[in-house]
Structure 1
Amino acid sequence: MEEKSGFLQKLRRLSPLSLPLCFLSFVFLDFSFRYFYRFVGGTSVLSYKPMLFTAGWALLLTGLLGLLPRLARRIAMMLLILLFSVLTLVHCAMFNIFGNFFTFSDTNFAGDGARFFSWSYLNFRKALLLCIVLAVLMMAFAAFLVPPKPESRKKRIISKSAAGAAALLSLVPILCMHFSLQPKSDTMWWGNTYDPNAETEIYSEFTNTNRCVMLTGLYQYTFRNFTVSFGIGQSHQGADKLDAYYESREVSPDNGKTGLFKDKNLLMVMLESADTWLLTEDYMPNLYALQQKSINFANHYTPLYLSAGTFNTEIVSLTGLIPAVSGLPSRAYSTNSFPLSLPNLFRDAGYTVNSFHSASPAIYSRGSIHTNLGFEAYHSYVDMGMDDYMLDSQLIRAYDQMTSGNKFYSYLITYSGHGPYTEEMRNISDPHYEAAKAEVAKSGVTGSAENMEEYTLAVAHAMETDEYIGELVDKLTGDGHMEDTVLVFYADHYGKYMSDDAFLKQVKGVGENKNELYRTPFFLYSADQKPETVEKYTSSVDIVPTLVNLFGLDADRRYYVGDDIFGDRGGAVLMPNYAWFDENVYYSDAYQGEMTEAMQERTADFRERVNASWDTLKSDYFATWKGDETKGRKK
């Protein structure tokens, strides 16, 4: 016991190292995280910017901890290092799944996403895990070394003053770097040319999570992203400036397909995870047969503006607006005004409008959001009489509800394509597993045993969705609705539930250009239209203005982000962070090629569209939409 006591006494002599070790543990955690993800973004791991931010925050946190009493300091030290360690793991998990680090905007949909969590999505680097453990142990030792309360009042004052001075000193590098990365006022206007490599623009908008993490480090990113994501201290363009922008925006005039489907019924189906490699004659023969007889958009892309991929595409394809990645709470979709949403427009045109999805109305707040968008009702699996909400084949039970009314617009979201493709969802895959296994064996696809099993299960999930499509076509044909109903099919996102990204790229035929992952099916069928392949590059934002034009709906297309596909504009895919591409060039904030005048104009135009969409949502712009023609508004 005396030897043990003597050893502890010797360790106690190291108590002056407590706060320096605390400082180093914060620095070490950040540096380890950025080192293992140094391939992300365009900032070197040794760049002075993140290092100054991190040093400043480590000093600030250490100084504030030094002001606390002994026990509170120990507890706070461990809580902080554990908080940032967990946050680091969350960043890693999000990057593994979505290719982007975590943003607090994702918390708006965290509860819904957690329902579909699978351990198979987590694949952390062992070396990084070891570094995180070392950082925690370093902090634990620093907490152990917290010195006892100084006996004299003078020493206590000196100790607290030193900690306070360190905290104040830490603000110098943090604020200096913050203000140096803020763009000048004359570069913050929509009409100016956007410099793709300007760190000031990246930092100001804070929409490119990957570059921002590497540019600012873990702690400044956390603080800055929190304030931006929840709109703290943020502003948006007011109604007058949005009026001016929308007045000046030019869109395609009416064309040969304007009103082509006027007064026809519309069944609009968003397919869960129905990627291009699944929509084949062997795997989904019913859907494939429809695609071959449809107007098929061969170069259609579905970018993910939010990590909640299905919800992201749902909002885009119903409103024509891009969900704001920051500063907009999820409740806004339940309370804002959306007079130009598809449900409202079809309702105004005398249609019966309803939405159908087997999931609970509480998930993504669909119950309130869909009625706010203009649907008469949101129908879940309970309303549709389904025994198992995961089985798309049971959606046919709601056929009469979907086709009710003299004219109907029914919006349907399938479910069975959802992942993970594991034992967890055998109720979906089991009825089709043997058929899927046989078709996969003939496909020529090869991979590890784990990848091939996951691939086979994905095919089985797709077969369950395809069974419903076959039953739907039979029903529509039997009652004559195939002649007066347009069927629109599109995917909510690519097959992101495959856990091996490299294998997914292999089966999809994607090379180094990762943007090809976002290419997804989109086609529309009408019995009186000949099959047609549209090669024009399109994305989710083009769906609404195209349908508005085809059905001759009374709406001013200037208020949508995208373009009518059959018009003389568009032809490019809008991506997150103001990126875009077409058949000739891919432009992003890392673009190093020569910027032609045409590219500069296109980039400025797309940037304006995205900003206007975000500001429209943030300000609830349409709440004051009064049909004042002098302001460019059309009721």
Structure 2
Amino acid sequence: MLTKFLPRKRFALLTALAVWFLAASLLLRVTFMIWQHDEISWNILDVFRTLFTGIFFDIGTVSFVLLPAVLYFSILPNRLIGSWFDKIVTYFFTVLMLFILVLTFFAEITFWDEFRTRFNFIAVDYLIYTHEVVANIKESYPLPVLIGGVLLITGLIVFVFYKRQVFRDTFSHALALKKRVIALAITVGIALVFSLGITNNQAEWSSNRYNSEISKSGIYSFFAAFRNNQMKYTEFYSSTGNDAAFDLVRQKLGSPNATFVTDKYSVHRTLTGDGMENKNVVFILVESLSAKFLGEFGNTEHITPFMDSIAQQSVCFENLYATGTRTVRGMEAVTLSIPPTPGQSIVKRPDNHNLYTVASVFRNRRYDCNFFYGGDGYFDNMNSFFGGNGFTIYDRGRGSVLSDDIRTTRHNIADSEVTFENAWGICDEDIFNKMLGVADAQYRSGKPFFNFIMTTSNHRPYTYPSGKIDIPSGKSREGAVKYTDYALRQLFRKASRKPWFRNTVFVIIADHCASSAGKDEIDLANYHIPAFIINAGTTRKVETQCSQIDIFPTLFGLFGWSYDSDFYGKDVLENGFEERFFSGTYRKLALVKKNKAMILSDQKVQHFYTWDKNTNALEPLPMDKGFLTETISFYQTADYLFTNHRLK
């Protein structure tokens, strides 16, 4: 351990800081174990490995945390030890470091509460969008109490250090050159080992995801995610030859009405149909709407009466799954109809303009395409992605501008159009009303329209206009879900009076589930989302297992359209549709076919399971090479097409 080798007197403060950090990290780890007591493995060997793996990564973390201080103590001349300069610098940075670390431990608790994981790429993203995140924290938690508690704990730690004469020892002992060199060399050595030889993935030793996550050190995980926010498929995942991969995928995507281009490294094809009519489309991507919230899927709380009613009056997808765990993944899935690529969503990546999206299909039929978002579309790069792919933007911008290469129009939602707003944006009723006004103008212009709406109300802090439903604002996720359901009812009530309503198809689908965490590698049941196609001239319950990427190909199939496609999604209603879905985290990629699941992990590792949908259990199976090759082919070709600019 680092503290064993540090000189006891001059380095007394750093020794105390290291011991405190390791003890606090251990306490946090035990807290998480108790928190997830019914999910983690309590096998004695698993418990010891969880704790000792955690301590190992904590040692690496504390070496990084203390490295600047060790450097300062090592180069400060003996004649300045205990001087006013030394005391001011030492006290100031000690208090600052303790405050940040205590605040970080609190942040880890709130992050775990939301995502059931240690810091990951989501935490990295949140650093970029400080306005939304800070406002969300202010509205979700008693910030004065939180900050006051952090200050109080920081003060208590400093007081204990003072009473134990840690500062006195630090300021009253000179330091020999040899000891300076040894202390600095050991600290730098440990930091280098953890920088170059240890990866955060090595903490993922257990088949129980909770044991692996609790084994991690939050700060170390944060910086590991910061370094690996984008991942090249062929560097991290098992791969096969591109010729064989594309041959297999083209075979899987083929259908009697599909004609592929001759380029073998492409999935581009022309689909022929006999439908000519252009129907307006209002597409609503609902924030965090898990299937389990709906009575249609067994919920008994009666929080979605409207959606439960439209489930009986629409094409209702009973067995459809999201591709990811974040809004940008849902946007990627429905607009590009592509399996999730590792690392960041394409929505957030560079060079994601002028792609072949569902808007390309609509624009080829002379539709007016629009994107509506109740917050600032700068968040999660939404404006850049949608603006760069042919949508007119309607958002609640705060002065951010689109980049120079985006040739689109952007409209700000005015204060006069807003009745309620929280950290993430205006309430669902307001964004729906904005869309209704724009649709009226589009109807008068005589152009068919494709209006894409992203809702915000079903998101922490779960606040919405008072007096709309019987659950008080800001109290629970259930209240936010019920308000969104209420807002959808109001949208349909108003839209039904419009002259364009009879020729308009509405699509409602979730971006992802409210929670995706579980004990297994990927908690597949927590990717189950509802989807409805309404006013399309037919009603049916679709029991077929399918993916979020299939929603628009199915809609185009209902329309009978002929169109070009670069999509991996298929028409679920066509004869011969093969049941399957794609799901992933930013590091794990899954292909599920009925009750079999193949999961690809970075470090070129893969696991094959049988999946029990009723219990959500994954049980290991002997590797199926054919299934593995198919999974690799889908994900490898999808990544290849984007990274090689073949989706343009």
TM-score (norm 1): 0.69
1:541 aligned partner: 549
Which one of 57, 64, 74 corresponds to residue 53 of structure 1? 57
CA distance, structure 1, for counterparts of residue 486 and residue 304 of structure 2: 6
CA distance, structure 2, for counterparts of residue 330 and residue 625 of structure 1: 13
Pairing of 1:156-555 with structure 2 (within 5 A): 156-171=176-191, 174=194, 178=198, 199=204, 213-229=213-229, 245-246=245-246, 248-249=248-249, 250-254=251-255, 259=273, 263-265=277-279, 266-276=281-291, 287-302=307-322, 304-306=324-326, 309=327, 311-321=328-338, 326=343, 332=349, 335-378=351-394, 382=412, 386-388=417-419, 389-390=426-427, 391-392=429-430, 394-395=433-434, 396-401=436-441, 403=443, 405-422=446-463, 425=464, 428-430=465-467, 432-433=468-469, 436=470, 455=478, 458-475=481-498, 478-479=499-500, 481-482=501-502, 484-494=503-513, 515-529=524-538, 531-547=539-555, 549-550=557-558, 552=561, 554-555=563-564
Task: Give the C-alpha shift of residue 297 in structure 1.
Answer: 0.5
CA distance, structure 2, for counterparts of residue 244 and residue 122 of structure 1: 56
CA distance, structure 1, for counterparts of residue 382 and residue 390 of structure 2: 12
- Checking the alignment, whether the CA contact within 8 Å between 1:283 and 1:463 is kept in structure 2 is no
CA distance, structure 1, for counterparts of residue 209 and residue 441 of structure 2: 43
1:82 and 2:122 matched: no
- Checking the alignment, whether the CA contact within 8 Å between 2:506 and 2:534 is kept in structure 1 is yes
Q: Which amino acid in 1 is paired with 2:487?
A: E
Pairing of 1:578-593 with structure 2 (within 5 A): 578-579=589-590, 581=592, 584=595, 593=619
- Checking the alignment, whether the CA contact within 8 Å between 1:270 and 1:413 is kept in structure 2 is yes
Q: Which amino acid in 2 is paired with 1:536?
A: T
CA distance, structure 2, for counterparts of residue 419 and residue 324 of structure 1: 27
CA distance, structure 1, for counterparts of residue 274 and residue 535 of structure 2: 10
- Checking the alignment, whether the CA contact within 8 Å between 1:416 and 1:465 is kept in structure 2 is no
Pairing of 1:92-171 with structure 2 (within 5 A): 92-109=109-126, 110-111=129-130, 112-117=132-137, 120=140, 144-145=167-168, 147-148=170-171, 155-171=175-191
Q: Which amino acid in 1 is paired with 2:316?
A: N
What do the CA deviations read for 1:440-480 (whole angstroms, capped 9, x no partner)? xxxxxxxxx999987456524531331112211332xx44x
- Checking the alignment, whether the CA contact within 8 Å between 1:105 and 1:325 is kept in structure 2 is no
Tell me: CA distance 1:136–1:521, structure 2 relative to 1, closer, same or farther (3 Å): farther
- Checking the alignment, whether the CA contact within 8 Å between 1:572 and 1:582 is kept in structure 2 is yes
Tell me: CA distance 1:177–1:420, structure 2 relative to 1, closer, same or farther (3 Å): same
TM-score (norm 2): 0.68
- Checking the alignment, whether the CA contact within 8 Å between 1:26 and 1:135 is kept in structure 2 is no
CA distance, structure 2, for counterparts of residue 421 and residue 346 of structure 1: 34
Q: Which amino acid in 2 is paired with 1:251?
A: K
Q: Which amino acid in 1 is paired with 2:25?
A: D
CA distance, structure 2, for counterparts of residue 364 and residue 79 of structure 1: 31
Task: Report the 3-state secondary structure (helix = DSSP H, G, I; strand = E; otherwise coil) of the residue aligned with 2:356.
Answer: coil
Deviates most, 454-463 or 351-360 = 454-463
Tell me: CA distance 1:27–1:261, structure 2 relative to 1, closer, same or farther (3 Å): farther
Task: Give the C-alpha shift of residue 346 in structure 1.
Answer: 1.7
CA distance, structure 2, for counterparts of residue 521 and residue 235 of structure 1: 35
- Checking the alignment, whether the CA contact within 8 Å between 1:324 and 1:614 is kept in structure 2 is yes
CA distance, structure 2, for counterparts of residue 547 and residue 527 of structure 1: 9
Deviates most, 518-527 or 339-348 = 518-527
Task: Give the C-alpha shift of residue 342 in structure 1.
Answer: 0.9
Task: Give the C-alpha shift of residue 496 in structure 1.
Answer: 6.3
Tell me: CA distance 1:139–1:290, structure 2 relative to 1, closer, same or farther (3 Å): same
CA distance, structure 2, for counterparts of residue 548 and residue 242 of structure 1: 29
CA distance, structure 1, for counterparts of residue 275 and residue 153 of structure 2: 60
Tell me: CA distance 1:231–1:101, structure 2 relative to 1, closer, same or farther (3 Å): same
CA distance, structure 2, for counterparts of residue 146 and residue 277 of structure 1: 59
Task: Give the C-alpha shift of residue 522 in structure 1.
Answer: 0.2
Percent identical? 17
1:21 aligned partner: 16
CA distance, structure 2, for counterparts of residue 167 and residue 91 of structure 1: 25
Q: Which amino acid in 1 is paired with 2:369?
A: V
Question: Structure 2 unaligned runs (5+)?
Answer: 1-7, 77-85, 258-270, 297-301, 397-410, 420-425, 600-606, 610-617
- Checking the alignment, whether the CA contact within 8 Å between 2:508 and 2:532 is kept in structure 1 is yes
- Checking the alignment, whether the CA contact within 8 Å between 2:323 and 2:527 is kept in structure 1 is yes
CA distance, structure 2, for counterparts of residue 409 and residue 540 of structure 1: 18
CA RMSD of aligned residues (A): 4.9
Which is helix-richer, 1 or 2?
1
Task: Report the 3-state secondary structure (helix = DSSP H, G, I; strand = E; otherwise coil) of the residue aligned with 1:298.
Answer: strand
Q: Which amino acid in 1 is paired with 2:454?
A: I
CA distance, structure 2, for counterparts of residue 60 and residue 116 of structure 1: 30
Q: Which amino acid in 2 is paired with 1:386?
A: E
Task: Report the 3-state secondary structure (helix = DSSP H, G, I; strand = E; otherwise coil) of the residue aligned with 2:619.
Answer: coil
2:265 aligned partner: none
- Checking the alignment, whether the CA contact within 8 Å between 2:305 and 2:485 is kept in structure 1 is no
Tell me: CA distance 1:488–1:139, structure 2 relative to 1, closer, same or farther (3 Å): farther
Q: Which amino acid in 2 is paired with 1:429?
A: S
- Checking the alignment, whether the CA contact within 8 Å between 2:246 and 2:633 is kept in structure 1 is no
CA distance, structure 2, for counterparts of residue 114 and residue 62 of structure 1: 28
Task: Give the C-alpha shift of residue 298 in structure 1.
Answer: 0.6
Task: Give the C-alpha shift of residue 96 in structure 1.
Answer: 0.7
Task: Report the 3-state secondary structure (helix = DSSP H, G, I; strand = E; otherwise coil) of the residue aligned with 2:360.
Answer: helix
Q: How many residues align?
A: 543
CA distance, structure 2, for counterparts of residue 91 and residue 55 of structure 1: 18
CA distance, structure 1, for counterparts of residue 170 and residue 230 of structure 2: 39
Task: Give the C-alpha shift of residue 131 in structure 1.
Answer: 9.4
Tell me: CA distance 1:20–1:305, structure 2 relative to 1, closer, same or farther (3 Å): same
